[in-house]
Chains A and B, each alone.
Chain A
């Protein structure tokens, strides 16, 4: 079975632009979480979605938004990009939450210039 997939792998954007990152969970998993990992730091929680509803939000500004689709895939959107948004964005999928089983994707490396 395929693991968690994310696209694109790498992305370069300019300050002020908008970006959309995509995640497909493991087949049968219904929850998706997003994390931001700045270079040299541990991942920081951004959102969790389950059954197309937001179930949790970390300490991130409203420029960050996400949604989950009927097939349980998810998109993370970031508006008005700042240099500080440069990071590895990780998606993790899990079965019906709450679950300690979270499987991470390879991430999308976003560089803002």
Chain B
């Protein structure tokens, strides 16, 4: 079974500063995907960044970057130059590569509520 753990229920950061959200996961799979999703208050979940496990290079998307440590099963998200619009719940998620008999599903962590302070 796959599990995803986010140990920081709440975090805050000053506008324009940098913040790092932590995520660890447990799996016996060797090929998989990892994601960070953002869920603003009362709005739908949107993809922030994706990492393929077979790629050693850390993914980046503008102000968002990840630190992927496969051996440690760690996948942290760094947000640089934080903006007020970054205030949201952030979920770390895992997906196995390929089909499985339990579906092509996400396994989500419990989320980190991030508040950007003006």
Binding site for B on A (CB under 8 A): 31, 33, 35, 40-45, 47-48, 55-58, 90, 92, 94, 97-100, 102-107
Chain B: number of interface residues, binned into ranges = 20 to 34
Contact status B110-A45, CB under 8 Å = no
Q: How far is the CB of A104 from chain B (nearest CB, A)?
A: 4
> What 10 pairs between A and B have smallest CB-CB spacing?
A56-B103, A42-B108, A48-B103, A45-B105, A106-B44, A104-B45, A97-B104, A98-B104, A100-B33, A56-B102
B84 contacts the other chain (CB 8 A): no
Q: How far is the CB of A43 from chain B (nearest CB, A)?
A: 5
Contact status B104-A94, CB under 8 Å = yes
Q: Which residues of A have CB within 8 Å of B103?
A: 33, 45, 47-48, 55-58
Contact status A56-B45, CB under 8 Å = no
Q: Which residues of B have CB within 8 Å of A94?
A: 104
Contact status A56-B50, CB under 8 Å = no
Q: Which residues of A have CB within 8 Å of B33?
A: 100
Show 11 A/B contacts (Cβ-Cβ < 8 Å), sorted by A.
A42-B110, A43-B106, A47-B103, A55-B99, A56-B104, A57-B102, A58-B103, A90-B44, A99-B104, A100-B95, A104-B46
